[in-house]
Amino acid sequence: MPVTKLLIANRGEVACRILRTCREMEIPTVAVYSDSDRGAMHVRLAVNSYPIGPTPSRESYMRVDKIVDVAKLSGADAVHPGYGFFAEDPEAARKIIDAGLTWIGPSVEVLEKMGDKVVARGIAQRVGVPVLPAVYEVNDDEALVAKAAELGFPLMVKPVLGRDGKGMRMVRTAGELRRALPRVKGEAIFSFWDERVYLEKALVNPHHVEVQIAADAHGNYVYLWERDGSLQRRFQQVAEEAPSPFVTPELRSKLGEAALAIAKEINYVGIGSVEFLLDDDKNFYFLEMTCRLQGGHAVTEWITGEDLVRWQISIARGEKLPLTQEQIPLWGHAFQCRINAEDPDKDFAPSSGTLNYLRTPAGRNIRNDSGVYYGWEMSPYYAPLISKLSAWGPNRELALARMHAALSEYRIGGVRNNVAFHKALTEHKPVLKGEYCTNVFRHAWWKQRGIGPNLKYAVAAALFEELEMEERRAQQPSTDASVEAWKRHNKINRL
């Protein structure tokens, strides 16, 4: 399929990430933007850009009809959905393909199968990959409570069409289950237009490991090792590393073979990740398959030296995979922190406002994927991501040391952020030892580590901005008030 001009149906960091690879491949790009994203970084980097509607994503970035119209208007022949929005929506993929455009992703049939978590579990079982015990035959609340008693607590309540950790709840008693069911169903209807839920046996101290896979249309399949995504809060990852410190070489091979068995069963073509939960005895269980580029792909690129976006585009063009399984290297170790505009001391509540101070880190083997710049307004309508900061080292200790040093350089003013939290994370003993699981944030240990300096930077940035404004006003003393301001400005400079 042709990919001569690519429309990126996304925004922020991931749109910029895709744009940069397209530049290397000399593929012209088309950006789309909502009203509040008119001056966004991805709009500035693209060759062409087009407005697609109001700020709320349901009226802009989620409007597939507008995306198709822009593709036809701009002459784009392919669409890359990035991640989020409609990246895993089979109906969106069908509309784009029916419009004669190349969809950078797996087929509609694969998205339908793996988007349904119950169907996906059945596929894993069919090829001999272990799954956790579950209840999915009924959807009535009382019937689910009765079945839960047979299954045994603790349990996870999950939307059948869920993804990205949305709507999931852990319950430990029948009472908690009764309270959780209406909430999970409500969130499932809001996010996925489907109220079906299922119950799955919960592991007490699980490790979350995802295997990166790639497949072409010629029957070639490879896995590009694994990432550890156990550092998560509210079932969403805040940091990743590759390879996993919990996975042995023997287990790595078993996980890779299991992931490829599932991919082959569904004739997968494209880039994707098969996710597993592991217990303390290193038994693994299929969790789900993510049929798109993942947010933690940078650490996989670090340890393999490969560009996964380039692989995606090449596969969509009908080309063969560039490497066989035996040729894929595993070099060193990589760590990534998701830098968000959020307050760790207030249950990671999102923060919005203007980035009135921004100093990003640099150094050897440091990468900062971002879609913002100094003066950018962080909107409450979108995910509060500022950047994804990653570091590589020949071993895990040096990778963590480089990450810690980079975080020490990072300065953000104007919004609450989690830079100091991540710095504390890279000093946390279980993380340093690689002995952590998904429950690492069960207790707010970081609150004892002095997260406060970020507020100081925000206040200092605001003061600098005020002084700059006063200086600009002082340059034109045309009224009595402005003369007084000019005098005050000179007085300040003499102090």
- Name the residues annotated as catalytic: 292
**Residue by residue, what is the 3-state secondary structure of the chain?**
CCCCCEEECCCHHHHHHHHHHHHHCCCCEEEEECHHHCCCHHHHHCCEEEECCCCCHHHCCCCHHHHHHHHHHHCCCEEECCCCCCCCCHHHHHHHHHCCCEECCCCHHHHHHHHCHHHHHHHHHHCCCCCCCEECCCCCHHHHHHHHHHHCCCEEEEECCCCCCCCCEEECCHHHHHHHHHHHHHHHHHHHCCCCEEEEECCCCCEEEEEEEEECCCCCEEEEEEEEEEEEECCEEEEEEECCCCCCHHHHHHHHHHHHHHHHHCCCCEEEEEEEEECCCCCEEEEEEECCCCCCHHHHHHHHCCCHHHHHHHHHCCCCCCCCHHHCCCCCEEEEEEEECEEHHHCCEECCEECCEEECCCCCCEEEEECCCCCCEECCCCCCEEEEEEEEECCHHHHHHHHHHHHHHCEEECCCCCHHHHHHHCCCHHHHHCCCCCCCCCCCHHHHCCCCHHHHHHHHHHHHHHHHHHHHHHCCCCCHHHHHHHHHHHHHHHC
> Which of 264, 34, 77, 292 lies closest to 163, judged by CA?
292
Question: Which residues have a Cβ under 8 Å from the Cβ of 67 and sit 6 or more positions away?
Answer: 7, 9, 32, 52, 79, 96
> Which of 105, 387, 113 lies closest to 272, judged by CA?
105
C-alpha dihedral (200, 203, 206, 208), degrees to nearest 10 = -10
Question: Which residues have a Cβ under 8 Å from the Cβ of 274 and sit 6 or more positions away?
Answer: 210, 211, 213, 258, 259, 262, 263, 286, 289, 290
> Which of 94, 120, 121, 118 lies closest to 107, judged by CA?
94
Q: Residue 451 corresponds to which tokens in the numbers above?
A: 């997260």
Residue 425: Cβ-neighbour burial (10 angstroms; 0-12, 13-18, 19+): buried
